[in-house]
Amino acid sequence: MSFAARFGASFRREAAFLARSPWDLALLTWLPLVLCALIAWQLSAGVIRDLPVALVDTERSALSRDIAIRIEGAPGMRLAYTVPDMRAAESLARSGAVEAIVLVPPEATQRALEGRGQITLYVNAAHSAASSTIQRDMAAIIAAANARAAVEQIAAISPPGKVRPAPLAVRSLIAFNAPASQEQQLVSLLHPALLHLLFMLAVVSAFGRELRDATVAEWRPDGASIAGKAALYVLAFMVWGAGVTAYLAGFRGWALAGGPALLMTGYLAMFAAYAGVSLLLVGITRRMSQSLSLTGLYAGASFAFAGAIFPVDQASGFAKFWAEILPFTHFARLLALDWITGAPTNVAAAPLVPLGLITLVTAVPGAWLYLRASQRPEDWGKR
């Protein structure tokens, strides 16, 4: 038989198996759908709004009322409680009723008139996304309150013509993601993070199952049939990759700055690399259960190591090495360059090189080990 015939026969054999086995089919169908939809739904608010905040108003002054009104008006915050002391506010923060505490200390008004007023913001740093939103909004509130105070109060006590604007005006903005939405950043990465793990589980199962059930005897694989079997899973997950991209870029409107072709090539290269790793794990352990456990260890924490949310530049040497051998890290780089910043194609396509390398150094020995095991009956049926 020709390569194409063996490839096609193996592809059809796998499809026929999946048609008979609903739980194996679930890994390609409803499980990715449910998990991706859940993440997408949870993060669909995108920009965090209306986080509950407690105001500790020790002063009951025009200033504290002004701050309270501004908190209500801020997009990221909502004034949930006004309490007279810190003890009550801390208890609210502990129980999760508020995400932050704004303290207007005694004599704040008097000190503000002297130009040394202080407002203290206590944020719950255990919740990082919420605390950064609140810090940004509070900084804007204080700047606005200062601008008003400069006009109303200080102008009133200073000689005319002596009040000037502050000497330095800083304007901050975020390029490529103007609303600083976390939906685009998180969902665009969480979806492939889920998909690559499900893909690896499906491929490890597909190859491990043949050894476990000793069906390799009847299948008698070679390079072409290994490729044909893996191709079915690559195809199915490419459909999911296109689907989640269409959801976020089309339906949610986070348009791709670069092109969809490069992103899809990235998906293809990532899945090829994970197929190689899967084959290598099955080839080494020759046991489905152990290779699945190792899959969890290898691909389960990819999201933490990808460096997309928290940079791994300062992490230990081991962490940097571990990040480099995870295909997801390289895919996340490609995604940031192609989807978010719209880098030139030659720059954005660079991560395809390490992805190809990982595919090569895992698939070749993986296929060799797997084919060897497929010819040794003593390697079959192990649990």
Partner 1 sequence: MWAAFRAVFAAIFADRAAALLLLGAPILYAVLYPSAYSGEIVIDAPVVVVDLDRSAASRDLVRRAAATSQVRLVAALASPQEAQEWLASDQASAAIIIPEGYSRAIAQGRSGNVMLVGSGAHLLRSSTALTGIGAALASTAREAAFEQARAAGPAAPPALQLVTRALFNTREGYGAAVFPGVAFVIVHQSLLLGLTLLAATAREKLGAPLRVTPAQFAGLGLAASTIAMVQVCWFAGLVFWWQDYPRAAAPLGQVLVGAALFVAATAALVLLLASLFRTRERPLQLGLAVSLPLFFLSGLTWPAAATPAPVLWLSRLFPTTPGLEVMVGLNQMGGTLADYAGALGNLAVLTAVFGGIALWRWTAPRRS
The interface with partner 1 within residues 240-299 (CB under 8 A) comprises: 287-290, 292-293, 295-297
Using the contact rule CB under 8 A, the part of the chain among 173-181, 242-250, 260-268, 353-361 near partner 1 is 173-181
Residue 167 found at the interface with partner 1 (CB under 8 A)? yes
The answer for residues whose C-beta is within 8 angstroms of residue 124's C-beta and 6 or more apart is: 93, 99, 100, 130, 131
What mask, x for binding partner 1 by CB under 8 A, covers residues 203 to 242? --x--xx--x------------------------------
Give me the residue label for tokens 């739980």: 23
Residue 101 found at the interface with partner 1 (CB under 8 A)? yes
What mask, x for binding partner 1 by CB under 8 A, covers residues 176 to 195? xxx-x-x-xxx---x--xx-
Q: Which of residues 34-93 bind partner 1 (CB under 8 A)?
A: 35, 38-39, 41-45, 48-52, 90-91, 93
Q: How far is the CB of 364 from partner 1 (least distance, A)?
A: 26
The answer for residues whose C-beta is within 8 angstroms of residue 66's C-beta and 6 or more apart is: 145, 148
* CB nearer to partner 1: pick between 6 and 57: 57
Residue 156 found at the interface with partner 1 (CB under 8 A)? no
* Total residues in contact with partner 1, by rule CB under 8 A: 130
Q: What is the DSSP secondary structure assignment for residue 250, as one 8-state letter?
A: I
CB atoms within 10 A of CB 6: 19
Strands, sheet with 77-83, edge to edge from the N-terminal-most edge strand: 77-83, 51-57, 100-104
Q: How far is the CB of 365 from partner 1 (least distance, A)?
A: 23
Q: How far is the CB of 178 from partner 1 (least distance, A)?
A: 8
Long-range contacts of 5-11 (CB under 8 A, 24+ apart): 6/222, 6/224, 6/225, 6/228, 7/224, 7/225, 7/227, 7/228, 7/231, 8/228, 9/225, 9/228, 10/219, 10/221, 10/224, 10/225, 10/226, 10/227, 10/228, 10/229, 11/228, 11/229, 11/231, 11/232
CB atoms within 10 A of CB 93: 20
* CB nearer to partner 1: pick between 300 and 356: 300
Q: How far is the CB of 337 from partner 1 (least distance, A)?
A: 6
Q: How far is the CB of 164 from partner 1 (least distance, A)?
A: 5
CB atoms within 10 A of CB 152: 9
Kind of pairing, strands 77-83 and 100-104? Answer: unpaired
Residue 344 found at the interface with partner 1 (CB under 8 A)? yes
Q: How far is the CB of 163 from partner 1 (least distance, A)?
A: 5
Using the contact rule CB under 8 A, the part of the chain among 231-239, 264-272, 309-317, 368-376 near partner 1 is 309-317
* CB nearer to partner 1: pick between 71 and 224: 71
Asked if residue 258 lies in contact with residue 345, where contact means CB atoms within 8 angstroms, the answer is yes
